[in-house]
Chain A
């Protein structure tokens, strides 16, 4: 198990360097420059002053260096092991060793990247932390239901319905939901966006004082975005559950269990179900990175300031540091997902071992 884990970790390093390098150089090739973005924000200055200002900004942000140098500087910055100032980190006297990873600064926003990400990340994580368990819960139930009624009308109808649900574009669903259910001309049941009412900061946590309270308010705002985030995952996961369960139900040990007279429920839940969990776990591993990027559309439509919107904004402002950092976090989450999945395999299925 340990050697397997170490191999996984080591293999991740080239993957991460490759992916971040690809993103860096794609952004580097573009004609947009962050200096110009900053200058245009400053407004009109005299031509000579503009030139001097441009040079100053380039020097200040290290943009005079060739792209390769800048990439490796950034890579050294985020790495926990690397070149550092003497006097910090682990062997203190050396100029090379362990140090605190630094995600760098966002030039257009004049802030530390880690601060920006920490602002946006909890919002997205909240959305996903609600929608993923819901998706899994309903999916497992539907999957079992369809697998039990295999080939019958329930199965075929649900199967087509789930595929249709999976094919529904989130851009359409979100627009329709917000258009019909958050609209005073149709059904004004839900708020049109954001996560809280502006005045909710003054409210108590639970309902009281004639207000609905912070918690209920947030839940009310979350309903539509969570529906948009959930339905596609749910459809996909139920199809997966059904396929996995059907696979297991055809196995010999299930026949044996039935032959020795076990009830249908026991066969299904104690014998078959646990053995069909592996594909669901695998998908969960790939859902973790989706947590960061997956809600780009939903956050845009519902005006929620999470990582999804941050990605678009950082892209448009050519905020290389911010964008690279988000990508790195996505990659790391993927690793965490894979590792968690590997552990979960062992828990779910005793036959799996990494020795």
Chain B
């Protein structure tokens, strides 16, 4: 493993008792970057522990970050919490397979068809693929932790590229006025060059990042498997983008079935799409839980359970992407501040103070009120305003690390700044960010639901917060099922992330380790 392991792996030795805490992360350090003799298979076993197994005896030596994650998941509560989040991920990835108004398979007038497949969007295809890939990788236990995290980042990049897919193509088609997307691309560029160029750059950059990350950071075989699954898929989606019909008729198969015209019909478990307002059944508005609608219906007649399942996507996407932005900016800025100290640190701290002085919810309200309701805008704002906590953590760590011998050695041997900062210092100083990241996911999810609750969230999309708001404003007094179920979902998710965050903090705290 020491041979094939990526150079990014933190290689700080750690005594078995785990006596070194965040205060002294480099305790017993050898020159970082030079490889420490891993016990063979240690990383594999750490990955097992992360995967929820953890039955093996703890290996003697682990990298610091791995040790912290291992300690975190020794905690039963953290395991339950991560189980809940994996369940939510499953729901998010397979949402249309679980809840859709379109039958999976139908036979009408002797003809077989699958309306379900015709209505799949790019995200509906890519997300399950990514989820399955992730499960396969975890099950085969070939990944170290650093690689696992990078895989997650990579997955986030891939999904965000394709989540933007339909909008992208619709805009291109609209600009092309019937002459196809290529003509549309040129016209768009001519109309507003700067914005469009930025847009293309982001697009190309995200795809390029996904591919480069896969080739560069994943182990060769894993990359091979992943690429074999995803590359043809990406190519297919880019050349022939999946575009579900613009005017979706939800009730046609229900009506056909009621008339007895369907010879065979296979439906999903919850046979309603999140935006299916049940126009064929006007009495279905605001009905409580029943056999037909397990969690009741909302003020417009849509099935609440279906909306809750599809809402997982928005919540998790906001949580992960906003936190990803936070961590990236926070680590970068905090690292520079801590390494250079002095004037850069002073300026950076003022910047942090300025940003912390603005309440995030208030600025989010400002932006959504001004620019309309846009999921990506929300993610960006939450991320751009939330990095200060991560930056403070990393800064504090780097201030301590910069005078340590191994950093001085790296400086003295003339390594480039990039290498000193990201290869040598970052693996030793990034661990506390785990705490702020998992609390950050919780607060990002909360912010989105609060915003939607205040009526400034996404329109028509199933967001948990917006559902909750209907409990009161939906008319006819208080609808307890609308209040209870989505609210419980928000609470459990936030609670799960906070539990994980707290057990990371416990794992980081040397005082608590002494107890054992």
A interface list, Cβ under 8 A from B? 11, 14-16, 18-19, 22-23, 26-27, 29-32, 151, 160, 163-164, 166-172, 175-176, 178-180, 183, 185-186, 246-247, 250, 289-290, 293, 296-297, 300-301, 311-312, 315-316, 318, 323, 327, 330-331, 334
What A residues does B50 contact at CB under 8 A?
none
As a 0/1 sequence over residues 476 to 515 of chain B, the CB contacts with chain A under 8 angstroms (1 = contact) are 0110100110011011001100110010000000010001
B472–A296 CB distance below 8 A: no
Kindly report which residue of chain B lies nearest to residue A12, judged by CB atoms: B353
A323–B477 CB distance below 8 A: no
How many contacts between A and B, using CB within 8 angstroms?
130
Q: How far is the CB of B425 from chain A (nearest CB, A)?
A: 28
A172–B468 CB distance below 8 A: yes
What B residues does A175 contact at CB under 8 A?
468, 471-472, 483, 487
B366–A171 CB distance below 8 A: no
A179–B362 CB distance below 8 A: no
B362–A15 CB distance below 8 A: no
B363 CB–A CB distance under 8 Å: yes
Show 21 residue pairs from A and B whose CB-CB distance is below 8 angstroms, ordered by the A residue: A11-B350, A16-B357, A19-B354, A23-B363, A26-B367, A30-B371, A151-B515, A164-B495, A167-B494, A169-B446, A169-B450, A171-B469, A172-B468, A179-B478, A179-B483, A247-B511, A250-B511, A296-B361, A296-B362, A311-B362, A330-B357
Q: How far is the CB of A182 from chain B (nearest CB, A)?
A: 9
Q: For B369, give its contact among A160, A315, A334 (CB under 8 Å).
A: A315
11 further contact pairs, Cβ within 8 A, besides A22-B358, A169-B449, A330-B357? A19-B357, A23-B358, A26-B363, A169-B491, A172-B487, A175-B471, A179-B472, A179-B483, A183-B477, A289-B359, A296-B454
Give the complex CA separation of A185 and B288 in angstroms. 15
Kindly report which residue of chain B lies nearest to residue A176, judged by CB atoms: B483
B interface list, Cβ under 8 A from A? 77, 350-351, 353-355, 357-359, 361-363, 365-367, 369-371, 442, 446, 449-450, 453-454, 465, 468-469, 471-472, 477-478, 480, 483-484, 487-488, 490-491, 494-495, 498-499, 502, 511, 515
* Residue among A23, A27, A167 with max Cβ neighbours from chain B (10 Å): A167
A15–B370 CB distance below 8 A: no
Once A160-B77, A179-B472 are accepted as A-B contacts, the answer to whether A15 and B353 lie under 8 Å apart by CB is: yes
Give the complex CA separation of A123 and B109 in angstroms. 67
Q: How far is the CB of B141 from chain A (nearest CB, A)?
A: 31
Give the complex CA separation of A316 and B484 in angstroms. 29
Q: How far is the CB of A303 from chain B (nearest CB, A)?
A: 11
Once A175-B487, A176-B487 are accepted as A-B contacts, the answer to whether A327 and B453 lie under 8 Å apart by CB is: no
B450–A178 CB distance below 8 A: no
Give the complex CA separation of A172 and B486 in angstroms. 9
Q: How far is the CB of B417 from chain A (nearest CB, A)?
A: 27
Q: How far is the CB of A321 from chain B (nearest CB, A)?
A: 14
Q: For A327, give its contact among B77, B358, B361 (CB under 8 Å).
A: B358
A172–B495 CB distance below 8 A: no
A315–B490 CB distance below 8 A: no
What A residues does B450 contact at CB under 8 A?
169-171, 296-297
Give the complex CA separation of A151 and B371 in angstroms. 51
What A residues does B361 contact at CB under 8 A?
293, 296
Kindly report which residue of chain A lies nearest to residue B472, judged by CB atoms: A175
Give the complex CA separation of A33 and B480 in angstroms. 40
